[in-house]
Structure 1
Amino acid sequence: MSTNSRRQAVAAMQQQQAAEKRRKTILFSTVVTIAIVLIGGLIGLGIYLNSGDDENREVVNPETSTTDDYGLVLGDGPVTLDLYVDFQCPVCKQFESEYGEKLIEWVENEDVTLNYHILNFLDSNQNSEFSSRAGNAVINALETGDDIQFLEYAQDVFHNQPEEGSGKTLTNSQLITIAEDYDFGSEFEDGVNDEKYVGWIDESNDSALDRDDISGTPTLFINGEKVSSEEMADSEALIAQIESDIESAK
């Protein structure tokens, strides 16, 4: 192949890669936008459907450090991230696949303080209360493990998230099985089966829905500034921005 032909081949490959990146960005951005619109429509319904149960649920506060607005505090870094998720949210699963490994790296290296907020308004989508039960399981993982195990187990739960609209769910037994490799012990199993922190998640959900700047999940704030869905869709640029903030804060 001549030098000119090789240059043309390289240029064509670069154009194809750039087009693929644009396609993924547009797809993720579109999904995020649609999800937020749909979630906005579900908020009122979710409050209505869950309102009768909330009064009967005992509120047990996690022993781990939490913020005043129900964020589970992970890490101790100079840049503060507030992340709001619902474990039944398919776009949260996509967010996790894009950013999960970086969140683990930043928390482990004490580059960020990650306040992890668990919501459950998508419980209204089915009768299994998967959002609440999965969130409860993840909190129990933090209570019986550490910050990194919490994030890794959260990744595993998202990875096993039932397909949207399939009518399927994960039982508490299955949530325990997913955690087998972590050796959290019997305290974890008891907490999952007793749905120990579901009442606390109800309060976390209500706290988030009282805010005007949270209309769906995932929602991310960096040092108090909300990240738009378009910014979240471009993971490469957003990761670079956060790492720039980390360097500036050191």
Structure 2
Amino acid sequence: MTKTKRDRNIKAREIVQHQRAAERRRTVTLWTSVAVVLVLFIAGMVGWSMVSGDDKGTLTTPTVAVDEGTAFATGTGPVTVDVYEDFMCPACNAFEQSAGATMKQLVTDNKITLRFHPVAILDRFSNGTEYSTRAAAASAAAAQEGKFSEYHDVLYANQPAENTTGLDNAKLIELGKSVGLTSETFAKAVNEGTYKTWAVQATEKFSERGFTGTPSIAVNGEKLTGPNDTLPTPELLTQAVEKAAG
């Protein structure tokens, strides 16, 4: 074999080796890129799950809830009165003290169907304990055992002040026992937060319906307020019910 031919063969082998090395580099680069894309895709899906609320936990809606699973009703009267409330809201308690007896009488007289919507918009005022959410969830557990009205009233009678830690779960369970909620089912629901995700969803529905504060009262779907956006008085509420009844 001549020197020229040997040189050509050596050069050819070098070219082949170079091409093979380049191909290996391209393969490594390709799979590295695929891996990076997959990591970014997975991270994006996790991030979307968190933003979209998929990490809120399992949704358990009380079977006794009405109005798209957001409320608990008493009475069967022809006029519907909806009350949206946060158990840490002082104004909600004030409305309850002012108009609670009137609403109960309207239920007794079969004039209204009264629907309470527990929501949680004041968690920021309970020093990180999410009292509004926990109280709303506990009221759902009470409703599931047929004691919503009783528990509703005892929560207001023991309402914590804003900017405190609120009532702990042990106290919520103790208050339940005082109105006949003595089952392990109720205590477990409070301790495990069975209805916390439901409370979050009910609050979202409250916002979607255009409400921005508590208490919000509606008579047959029409928001009711007093003069200058004050709380409606018992007299104003009664008048609105009579007008809605025709």
Q: Same fold (TM over 0.5)?
A: yes
| Aligned counterparts, 1:3-42, within 5 A | none
Change (3 A) 1:194 1:107: farther
Q: What's the offset of the Cα at 1:137?
A: 1.3
Which AA in structure 2 matches 1:223?
Answer: N
Contact 1:67 / 1:73 at 8 angstroms: preserved in 2? no
Partner of 1:121: 121
Relative to structure 1, is the Cα distance of residues 110 and 139 closer, same or farther in structure 2, using a 3 angstrom cutoff? Answer: farther
User: Which residue does the alignment assign to 1:79?
Assistant: 79
SS class of match (1:56): coil
For normalisation by structure 1, the TM-score amounts to 0.69
- Is the aligned partner of 1:57 residue 2:35? no
RMSD: 2.5
Give, in angstroms, the shift of residue 244 of structure 1.
2.8
Unaligned runs of 5+ in 2: 1-49
Count of residues paired in the alignment: 194
The alignment status of 1:144 with 2:145, answered yes or no, reads yes
Pick from 217, 222, 228: which aligns with 2:219? 222
Corresponding position of 1:160: 158
Structure 1 residues 136, 245: closer, same or farther in 2, change over 3 A?
Answer: same
Q: Deviations over 1:96-123 (max 9, x none)?
A: 1112222333334432112221211211
| Counterpart-to-counterpart distance in 2, 1:207 and 1:67 | 10
Residues 178-222 of structure 1: CA deviation (Å, up to 9, x unaligned): 12232222221121112111101111111111233x120000000
Note closer, same or farther for the CA distance 1:53–1:159 as it changes in structure 2 (3 Å cut): farther
* Partner Cα separation in structure 1 for residue 111 and residue 82 of structure 2: 14
Q: 1: distance between equivalents of 2:53 and 2:86?
A: 18
On the 8 A contact 2:66/2:72 being kept in 1, the answer is: yes
8 Å contact from structure 1 (residues 54, 202) kept in 2 = no
**Is the contact between residue 131 and residue 165 of structure 2 (CA under 8 Å) also seen in structure 1?**
no
Match status 1:66 vs 2:66: yes
**Is 1:182 matched with 2:183?**
no
Counterpart pick for 1:205 among 183, 203, 206: 203
Q: Indicate the residue corresponding to 1:46 in structure 2.
A: none
Looking at both structures, which has the greater relative contact order when contacts are Cα pairs under 8 Å and sequence separation is at least 6? 1
Structure 1 vs Structure 2: percent identity of aligned residues? 29
What secondary structure is seen at the aligned counterpart in 2 of 1:174?
Answer: helix
Give the secondary structure class of the aligned counterpart of 2:83. Answer: strand
Note closer, same or farther for the CA distance 1:234–1:201 as it changes in structure 2 (3 Å cut): closer
Structure 1 unmatched ranges of 5 or more: 1-49
Give, in whole Å, the separation in 2 of the partners of 1:121 and 1:54: 20
Q: Distance in 1 between matches of 2:226 and 2:51?
A: 29
Aligned amino acid, residue 81 of structure 1: V
* Shift in alpha-carbon separation, 1:102–1:153, aligned structure 2, 3 A: farther
CA distance in 1, matches of 2:104, 2:235: 18
Give the TM-score, by structure 2 length: 0.70
Residue type at the aligned position of 2:175: I
